[in-house]
Structures are given as C-alpha cells and as structure tokens.
Amino acid sequence: MRIRYLGPSGLRVSELCLGTMTFGEDWGWGASKEESRGVFNAYVERGGNFVDTANGYTNGTSEKIVGELIRSDRDRFVLATKYTFPTVRGDPNSGGNHRKSMFRSLDGSLKRLGTDYVDLFWLHAWDYSTSVEEVMRALDDLVRSGKVLYVGVSDTPAWIVSRANMLAELRGWSPFIALQIEYSLIERTPERDLLPMARSLGMTVTPWGILGSGVLTGKYNDVPPSPSRAGGMTGEKVERRLDAMNSQKANEQNLKVASAVVEVAKQLGCSPSQVALAWLRTRPGSIVPILGARRLSQIHDNLSSLEVTLPEEHVRRLDELSRIELGFPHEFYTDPVRRDRIFGGVYSRMADHRGP
C-alpha cells in the first residue's frame, strides 16, 4: 500500500483507511471481536496504518476493540476518532459541537481506546448551533494540550469549513487538514463545492459510503421490483428486497450505474466493489477511501482493489453515466456566451485557465 501525506500536514497515512463502524455487535449487526481482529490484521498485513472510529460507533464498543487491537504497537498507527453525537440519551450536553461536548467526548474516547492521545480528531457533523469560533478555539486548545495532534471535519457544508480554516489561519489556531464526506459513483454532489474546496485548501478527503449502501456491488439489480412479485423468493431474497426498498439509493438511475459497474467488473475480471473503489482512486486531489467491512472476505475483496487499474474508456463511461448537474453558479460560468463576456473574447487564447 502506498503512503500519502494527510492534507497539508507532514503526517503520513496509507492510501486506504480502515473504517471500524462495523466493529462490535451492539446494534444488532456488525462484526464480532474475533471477526474484527481478522479484518484489522488483513488491513495491517497489506501495509495499512490509518484507522478510523468514533465515540458513538456500536455504543463505544468500536473504540474499545480498536484500542485492544493497536495497544501493543500504538505509535505505529494513525488513530482517528470523532465527536458530536451524544453518548447519553436525554442529556442535552452529551452531544453537539460545543466545548463541553468536545472535551467530555474526547476524554471518554481516550479511556475506551486505552491511549493518551489521538492522531486525528474529527468533528463528526455540524450542529448549526455552536459558533465556528468556539469550535476552532476549543479544538486548538486540545491540540495544545497534546491529547490531539491534528483536527479534521466530517459532514459539514463547504462554506463553514472554509470559514473555519480562514479563522484558524488568521488567529494561529489548528486548521482542519482533512474532510470526511459521503462520495461514490452514486453520490457525486460533493463535486459541486466540497471537493473543489478541499483541493483549494490542500485537504485530504476520506470518503465514506463508497459502495453506495451496497448498491454498487450490484446486489440489488437482480431483485424483483416489488414485494407483490416476490412469490417463491427465498428468505434471503425477501430480506434483500426489503433492504433495497428501505434504501433511497436503490433508485432507477443508481441501479443503472451499478449495472455498468458490474459489466466493467466482468470485463476486467474483478469484483464490482473493486471497480467502485478503483474509480474513486482516479479522482483528482488527495483521496483516501474508507473501507468498512463486517466480514473478512469483504476486507480482502476491498484491499484487492489496489491491484485494479481502470482503463480510460471505462473511467469515461462511468463518469458519464453517473455525472450530476453542477447547477448554479458553476454552470453559469461555463456557459460559452457568459465566458466570452467575462474574458472579453480572449478566453480561447488564455494559456493557463484557473477556473472550471
């Protein structure tokens, strides 16, 4: 596995990140401690060093399992965890982006992880109630305390992240160096603002949901379109159908994309999951996909995507089929008439275009 710098920092991480939301069975699904160990070991054997968890994953069990797995060689790993979501239901200050939630959450995470610091501390989701100033100052205090080395931000609008990093730059605080977002062949809306922002600020992007809730594996494409036509279906297929009905991502357009992914996989002799991951690795900027696996076979399959290189014709096909409308103001500036007016008729003579 190759190594990348994490954003503008000097911190070095593997090109794939191990997501551990599946570690633990507290939510009625997920991997047992033994299966989690197998997944972790398979990732490490391929050269992985970047492990991502969160205070609320499987009610804290994920952090406990991760802590046990890295304890014998803690400093080898780039350990990331998150705060925002409450750990005590009904307690108004147990969650949120504010300073009390932040400090309380980190202390709990450090205890569960069995360590005295985390390499990367993520804001998990923007709560729209805490000021940017409070968040960035409090995060900087944690960095100065030594409990946190770097900070990142997840599931937050681009304009908030941009403002936060500008404040950090002006006031000498620790900036966000990484951005965690949902991004895949069937969720490309981050290409409007979040991804251009990340490239502009030099941030590494760690996408989650890279298989589109399983849609990109192709497992929903052969499921009957409605329960009324499910006569004779096995219990497993009924379960898959209900799963598809409950997933907003299993719509007609996304199933077309999944079908194309399956076709490309057949032509290349690999799995659809590997194609979906290989496509992510063709994206511009610093992209470190997060792998999430409940079974050992899944992590082996995902790690094998490192051996898959998509030919240009396949990249173009998948790009076109999954392309989204960027909308205003992005398409306003690319309109030829408006572009001609903005540049006074010399756009075609410009040697180094800086825009889209």
Catalytic center residues: 57
Listed in sequence order, the DSSP H helices in the chain are 33-45, 61-70, 99-113, 132-145, 158-171, 194-201, 235-246, 252-268, 272-280, 296-303, 312-322, 330-334, 336-343
Gap between the Cα atoms of 193 and 196, Å rounded: 6
Find the largest Cα–Cα distance for the chain: 67
271 CB-near residues (< 8 Å, 6+ apart): 217, 265, 301, 304
Whether a cis peptide bond, with omega within 30° of 0, leads into 329 is: yes
Here the tokens at position 20 are 């551990």
Gap between the Cα atoms of 353 and 356, Å rounded: 8
- Candidates 213, 208, 211, 210; CA nearest to 80 is 208
12: β partners: 5
Rounded to 5°, angle at Cα 305 from 247 and 319: 60
